[in-house]
């Protein structure tokens, strides 16, 4: 068999991306400037002092407009600076992910802070100011959207490898030897991702319960938070690993793609074992101590995917041996076709 590795090509990879720390910092400065200007323009119609904290019985914490602006600006820039510092300690290939988290968090803090002030327009007494539920709901949506956009914008350029051409696809049944399959058979392997019950319990108790309480006692707009958490739990607990001629995908609820590794990006794959808390600091889509990306939902078996010039991808799966056999066969056939 003639084996040919994918060949780097010019112009096929993504172009040079902006530095993650720079994009994150500019966004933080931008939202602070925009929020400050908006509040200053609206200042004649704001009470002074303004409400800055709410409890079950309404506003119970107050500050001057100027003090509130300084507080919101300092929190936004402080949180962003802290995350940028953490981001610089990570492997360069992972910094775009933390840039997305930092940008989204900074936007969330700023929108909640400035938005809670703007919702008090027209109220002569801050004691009767409405709870900032709408501001929090908008902050959650904007934070998620901008965080996702920043992580994509600052992602490192791909190696620009040419895809193997003319590969003969093969099909592997669970437990079968891929090399014994007839020529021309189609390849696919599908298996559910195991889920750690403890992780689900933590999300429910530490995430859903408090946010449901806040939505019931403070503002109906806050229901967006537990609803999004519930959707996240549903997506993660219904995930399926698919290996076929296109590569590796993790899909959920029939439409959401949580992970995709094209076949031409893969060098090889093999079984592994993961301990999410010890190796990745938790469950879900995580960054490992070794620089790998992990979609790890349970202790135990996992599929480790080695990629050309990029960190490994690790996915929890109940039968990694068969999944690896299928993927390795596809990669080998692709190289054979390229040769």
- In this predicted model, what pLDDT tens digit does every residue of 18-30 receive, in sequence order? 688 888 999 999 9
Tokens of 195: 């889920």
What backbone phi and psi angles, to 5 degrees, belong to 330?
-60, -45
- pLDDT, average across residues 193-198: 80
Q: Left, alpha or beta for 316 (phi > 0: left; psi -120 to 50: alpha)?
A: beta
* Poorest-pLDDT segment among 132-146, 243-257, 310-324: 243-257
Convert the pLDDT of each residue in 53-92 to its tens digit.
Answer: 887 777 888 999 999 999 999 999 999 998 888 777 766 6
Contacts (Cβ under 8 Å, ≥6 apart) of 68? 39, 50, 52, 113, 117
pLDDT for the residue 336: 64
Angle between helices 133-153 and 224-237 (to 10 degrees): 40
| Prior bond of 49 cis (ω within 30°) | yes
178-338 placed in CATH 2.30.29.30: yes
Q: Which residue has the tokens 């390849």?
A: 187
184: left (phi over 0), alpha (psi -120 to 50) or beta: left
Confidence of residue 239 (pLDDT cuts 50, 70, 90): confident
Mapped onto helix, strand or coil, the DSSP state of residue 128 is helix
pTM score of the predicted model: 0.62
Token representation of residue 90: 């990570």
Taking alpha carbons only, the member of 254, 246, 259, 321 closest to residue 296 is 259
Question: How many residues comprise the chain?
Answer: 339
Question: How is the chain split into domains, by residue range?
Answer: 20-153, 178-338
How do residues 262-316 score in pLDDT, each as one tens digit?
A: 989 999 999 999 998 888 888 888 888 777 888 888 889 999 999 988 889 999 9
Q: Token pair of 249, please?
A: 């995908």
């Amino acid at each position: 068999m003639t084996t040919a590795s994918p060949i780097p090509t010019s112009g096929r990879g993504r172009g040079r991306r902006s530095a993650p720390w720079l994009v994150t910092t500019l966004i933080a400065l931008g939202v602070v400037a925009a929020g400050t200007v908006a509040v200053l323009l609206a200042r004649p119609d704001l009470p002074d002092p303004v409400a800055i904290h709410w409890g079950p019985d309404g506003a119970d914490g107050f500050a001057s407009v100027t003090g509130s602006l300084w507080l919101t600006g300092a929190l936004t820039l402080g949180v962003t600076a802290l995350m940028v510092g953490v981001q610089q300690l990570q492997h360069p290939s992972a910094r775009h992910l933390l840039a997305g988290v930092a940008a989204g968090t900074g936007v969330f803090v700023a929108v909640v802070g400035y938005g809670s002030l703007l919702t008090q327009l027209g109220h002569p007494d801050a004691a009767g100011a409405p709870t900032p539920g709408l501001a929090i709901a908008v902050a959650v949506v904007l934070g998620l959207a901008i965080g996702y956009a920043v992580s994509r914008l600052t992602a490192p350029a791909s190696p620009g490898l040419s895809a193997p051409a003319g590969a003969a696809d093969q099909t592997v049944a669970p437990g079968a030897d891929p090399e014994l399959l007839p020529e021309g058979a189609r390849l696919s392997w599908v298996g559910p991702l195991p889920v750690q019950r403890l992780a689900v319990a933590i999300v429910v108790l530490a995430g859903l319960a408090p946010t449901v309480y806040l939505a019931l006692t403070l503002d109906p707009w806050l229901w967006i938070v537990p609803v999004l958490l519930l959707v996240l739990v549903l997506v993660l607990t219904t995930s399926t690993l698919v290996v076929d001629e296109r590569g590796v995908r993790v899909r959920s609820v029939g439409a959401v793609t949580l992970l995709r590794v094209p076949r031409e990006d893969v060098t090889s794959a093999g079984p592994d074992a993961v301990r999410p808390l010890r190796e990745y600091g938790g469950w879900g889509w995580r960054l490992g101590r070794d620089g790998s990306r992990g979609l790890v939902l349970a202790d135990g078996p996992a599929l480790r995917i080695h990629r050309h010039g990029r960190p490994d991808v690790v996915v929890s799966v109940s039968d990694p041996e068969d999944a690896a056999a299928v993927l390795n066969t596809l990669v080998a056939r692709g190289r054979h076709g390229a040769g």
